[in-house]
A = this chain, B = another copy of it.
Amino acid sequence: MFATKNEYDRGVNTFSPEGRLFQVEYALEAIKLGSTSIGITCQDGVVLAVERRVTSKLIEPSSIEKIFEIDSHVGCAMSGILADARTLVDHARAEAQNHRFTYLEEMLLQSIAQSVCDLSLNFGEGDGSQKKPMSRPYGVSLLIGGVDKNGPALFTTDPSGTLFKYKAKAIGSAAEGAQTMLQEEFKTDLSLEDGVKMALRILKQVMEEAITSQNVEVAVVSTQDKIFRRLTPSGVEEYLTSL
């Protein structure tokens, strides 16, 4: 059985006899090797929180960036291959700016997430431009969170280009444990404050190292001003103390 699988899993776009595309499934595994990211939709905003793996005392933790601003009202957290995340985020930023320029309004979160999925789906297919496409699926999942005219929302994208809307979602190496905890603790009437605490509480439990203000990264978008904001290390410190 394993031997049979081997014979179909190296061609990027080859179906196995069971109708599966293994290279896409393996790209999903790349995400499970990545650090854990959590996103939570609250009543008054959205929280994104990720684990930073600081492998050396001499590294500057702030240079390990895993949360990105896409537009002023939307950001994303990533798990998987950093390089691939950058490509998808650059694409999303351009789409969001084009939308603002063309329609004089902010782009809907779902549309932004869909544009990321479209690119993921079409890896290797080209788009008529001169730019050579990726020759493998994108090995990254994004948690795209923010606030638009429909209120706060959280979308997930993955290497197969599939889009889902979640109330709360964890991805990365500790996704399974974190998701179970989210499912137990999530309530629809969470405040943004409580959302940040829940995200940090869960990260604290699933991270192998002790959580500090240096090895996590947190960002929020509040419904009040629809502005993407990163928490400062001292801001994170306060929350950690309160746990």
Residue A127 at the B interface, CB < 8 A? yes
Q: How large is the interface on A (under 10, 10 to 19, 20 to 34, 35 or more residues)?
A: 35 or more
Q: Give CA–CA (A210, B186) in the complex, Å.
A: 24
B165 touches A60 (CB 8 A): yes
* Residues A59 and B164 in contact, CB atoms below 8 Å apart: yes
A183 proximal to B (CB < 8 A): yes
Residues of B within 8 A of A7 (CB): 6, 10
Determine if B10 and A14 form an interchain contact, defined as CB atoms under 8 angstroms apart.
yes
Interface SS, A side: loop
Q: Pick the interface stretch among A93-101, A129-137, A216-224, A234-242.
A: A129-137
Binds B, one of A22-30, A43-51, A189-197, A198-206: A22-30
Interface locus among A68-76, A118-126, A225-233: A118-126
A82 to B11, CA, bound (A): 20
**CB-based nearest B residue for A33:** B19
Contacts A/B (CB < 8 Å), 11 sampled? A6-B7, A13-B136, A15-B137, A18-B29, A56-B169, A58-B166, A58-B179, A58-B182, A59-B166, A125-B133, A128-B131
